[in-house]
Chains A and B, each alone.
Chain A
Amino acid sequence: MANTRDIKKRIKSIGNTKKITRAMEMVSAAKMRKAIEAVLRTRSYANLSWATVLNLARANGQDGRPPHPLLDAVSAGSAQAKRGGVKKVAVVLITSNRGLCGGFNSVIIKKVLESIRKHSEPHPNPLLRKEREQAGGVSHEFILLGKKGQAVYKNFNFPVTADFPKLDYINEVGEVIPVARMIIKDYLSGQYDKVMVAYTDFINAAKQLPRVKQLLPIDITTADEYLGVVGQDPRLGLNKELIEEKEKKHLQSGQFKYEYIFEPSPEEVLNEMLPRLIEIQLFQALLESNASEQSARRLAMHQATEAATDMAGELTLSYNKARQAGVTSEIAEISAGANALAE
């Protein structure tokens, strides 16, 4: 039986740990609330800008002029086609700055590695497989947002091109502008053929999903890949067919209903608007990731607090047992002594 004093010490230290984890739980619960609000506020802007770009994209490139370079994914004159397929991919990886948030970071990193592996393997479709072999494989580079992303380099040896500091509170779009500018510049200069963003999508306080999405080239045909698009939101509980139908309708109505006037010109408007769209999507990814991080931390800390409570309970039990054993043996000794005297 362990010493009662030792057990008492442990109970006390576990109690202290519990206090800390409980405090952290409360803090992240408050932060989570704020982060969720921020996500929801940005959503309507993201939706509307996406809808506008959809409309614009169709008007652009219809009258024989080549489509905007940021929009162009597949046409003959596109950057990708010129280089013969996708060879270099940049991944913007959004992680947390701090630990103690459960599997938050490892889950997103694992997801990214999985998707890289999937794209490096021979393609199941023989035609595409050949194409990929001719392209000579794909190389990946990382752009990090958040300190914990450094694991991709430390543990998996992927090259890191840039490591941007991430603030704990993000409420200005301005904070993602440097990242957005860099990827747009590098994409246009041909350093990358594709830019992906990996972040954790916030679904609800108990559920977060890691996602890898294409940022560049902007692909208007796969709208569901995008952040916060109307009707694409899993939070609304819409099923996929409904979404697809809506999208189709939208595409049709967009084609036939609207003849836009552009001021000053389609190119100039798109030149200003598309970088803005990239910024807003990065911004939203960041906000989603933040909300997810805080909920993951809240959950982890909640579990830690519960574990501490269990442990303290068990230790109290063994403490009481030890104490009772001590009392019993003392009584036994005293009564033995009394008996000896009486004899």
Chain B
Amino acid sequence: MFDKFIQFEIVTPKRVVLKDEILQITLPTRAGEITVLPNHIPLVSSLVPGVVHVKKKNGEDEVISISGGFLEVLKDKVVILADTAERAEEIDLARAEEGRRRAEELKQQARAGERVNFAEINAALERELARTKAVKRWRKLKNLE
């Protein structure tokens, strides 16, 4: 049915998160969410924290949360340079929720008090949000709930 694949790779400074042949990928860029299909025109874009949704060659879905990074689309090749990335199956929902709650608390405190590293707290919050979102979407896909 599909004879076109994309060589896909998502790496963080710490590891290669996923490297596979895929059919399509949906990701959150600065200008909005986009989907890349085979034969996409070369594109470079910066990514915002959010959920990356990948359809693999074998028909399986993969959901990955990222906290910003870059996207490079070449002919038949997609590379994501993520700051951090986690596959949804690796994320523990309870802990992700907990992390989000903590980040929100921190934000409240920061708002009340001094505004030292507000940007960092905000980034952490966005990252945690992306993680929870990724797990939820993953569970929905797998009909876990």
Contacts and interface: CB of A to CB of B under 8 A. Distances in A.
Interface string A38-71: 0001101100110010011000000000000000
Interface in A237-283: 257-264, 268-269, 272-273, 276, 280, 283
A55 B16 contact: no
Contacts of A42: 13-14
Interface in B29-62: 29-31, 41-46
Nearest to B30: A264
A261 B11 CA distance: 22
B98 interface: no
A45 B41 CA distance: 23
Contact of B70 (A44, A257, A264, A273): A273
Contact of B43 (A48, A263, A283): A263
A225 B13 CA distance: 20
A45 B42 CA distance: 20
B31 A48 contact: no
Contacts of B42: 258-261
Contacts of A264: 30-31, 45-46
A212 B72 CA distance: 30
Given A258-B74, A263-B45, A272-B70, A45 B30 contact: no
Nearest to B29: A263
A116 interface: no
Contacts of B72: 48, 52, 55
B70 A261 contact: no
A52 B12 contact: no
B115 interface: no
B9 interface: yes
A171 interface: yes
Interface residues of A, number: 26
B75 interface: yes
Contacts of A49: 70, 81
B15 interface: yes
Contacts of B91: none
A320 B14 CA distance: 57
A14 interface: no
Given A49-B81, A269-B46, A171 B14 contact: yes
A259 B41 CA distance: 8
Which residue of A263, A269, A272 has the most chain B CB atoms within 10 A of its CB atom? A263
A44 B83 CA distance: 13
B46 A48 contact: no
B18 interface: no
B121 interface: no
Contact of B45 (A55, A173, A257, A269): A269
Contacts of A258: 42, 74-75
Interface footprint category on B: 20 to 34
Which residue of A41, A268, A280 has the most chain B CB atoms within 10 A of its CB atom? A41
B79 interface: yes
Contact of A52 (B30, B31, B79, B83): B79
A227 to B, nearest CB: 12
Contact of A260 (B13, B44, B79, B81): B44
A261 B72 CA distance: 10
Contacts of A48: 9, 11, 72, 79, 81
A280 B13 CA distance: 7
A269 B13 CA distance: 19
Interface string A264-305: 100011001100100010010000000000000000000000
Given A257-B75, A273-B70, A56 B44 contact: yes
A272 B13 contact: no
A41 B11 CA distance: 9
B92 to A, nearest CB: 20
Contact of A262 (B12, B14, B45, B75): B45
Nearest to A46: B13
Given A44-B16, A269-B70, 16 more contacts: A41-B14, A42-B14, A45-B13, A45-B14, A48-B9, A49-B70, A52-B81, A56-B44, A171-B14, A173-B13, A257-B75, A260-B44, A261-B43, A263-B46, A272-B46, A273-B70
7 contacts: A44-B16, A48-B11, A49-B81, A258-B74, A263-B45, A269-B46, A272-B46
Interface of A: 41-42, 44-45, 48-49, 52, 55-56, 171, 173, 257-264, 268-269, 272-273, 276, 280, 283
